[in-house]
């Protein structure tokens, strides 16, 4: 794809979001368009639904899911333990301590990937660390985790093992996974967890 077109796909939605935010709630952005493009095209911000499912099953205390959809969408359906930070309110000081920290691994999600990726772009420009995007959003979560499709019996062992993991995750997380195991084994390899890079900054507390 032409680099200028790719840049526009990332920058134009970001500009629209910034323009919609009241002036007194905006913060200083730190990345140039070229730097943002480099960050975005590396795709290092994406976390798979399998990784999220495994962390939820293990009750990993580092995981913090952030739903950037509207409150109405959040009430209708959300991932276990998620908090709602609507995209339109992302720059509110109310959420700064949630988004700008070095303890939790924030994972943005929306129905697809677009709005969650916009949230990631904004927080990345602000210099916030430990923010990621769930690949595919809730639509892909429903397809891969809540209602996984059984592979053909002739599929490679890794595909069958992946299905068994997803089926078990579905049962654990409220989906429609079946009871029987196609692999006939409980020894299923779960995906590796992403590495969280700790921030080195220290915030000075003040006031009362």
Q: Work out the number of other CB atoms within 10 angstroms of the CB of residue 207.
A: 3
143-182 burial by CB neighbour count: b if 16+ within 10 A, else e?
ebbbebeebeeeeeeeebbbbbbbbbbbeebebebeeeeb
The chain-wide mean pLDDT, for the chain, equals 78
Mean pLDDT, rounded, for 135-142: 96
pLDDT at 141 over 60: yes
Task: Write the CATH number of the domain with boundaries 3-22+30-44+56-131.
Answer: 3.40.250.10
**Residue 208: is its pLDDT beyond 60?**
no
Its pTM surpasses 0.85: no
User: Looking at 77-81, 93-97, 168-172, 191-195, which range is the least confident one?
Assistant: 191-195
The domains of the chain are located at 3-22+30-44+56-131
């Amino acid at each position: 794809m032409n680099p200028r077109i790719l840049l526009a796909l990332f920058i134009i939605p970001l500009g629209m979001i910034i323009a919609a935010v009241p002036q007194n709630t905006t913060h200083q952005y730190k990345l140039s368009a070229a730097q943002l493009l480099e960050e975005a095209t590396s795709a290092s911000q994406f976390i798979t639904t399998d990784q999220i499912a495994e962390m939820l099953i293990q009750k990993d205390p580092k995981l913090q899911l952030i739903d950037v959809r509207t409150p109405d969408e959040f009430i209708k359906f959300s991932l276990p333990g998620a908090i709602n930070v609507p995209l339109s309110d992302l720059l509110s000081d109310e959420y700064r301590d949630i988004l700008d920290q070095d303890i939790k691994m924030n994972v943005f999600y929306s129905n697809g990937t677009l709005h969650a990726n916009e949230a990631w772009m904004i927080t990345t420009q602000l210099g916030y660390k430990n923010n990621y995007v769930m690949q595919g959003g809730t639509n892909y979560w429903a397809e891969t985790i809540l209602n996984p499709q059984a592979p053909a019996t002739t599929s490679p062992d890794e595909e069958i093992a992946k299905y068994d993991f997803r089926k078990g995750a579905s049962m654990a997380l409220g989906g429609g996974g079946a009871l029987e195991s196609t692999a006939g084994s409980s020894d299923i390899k779960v995906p590796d967890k992403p590495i969280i890079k700790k921030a080195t900054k220290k915030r000075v507390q003040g006031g009362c």
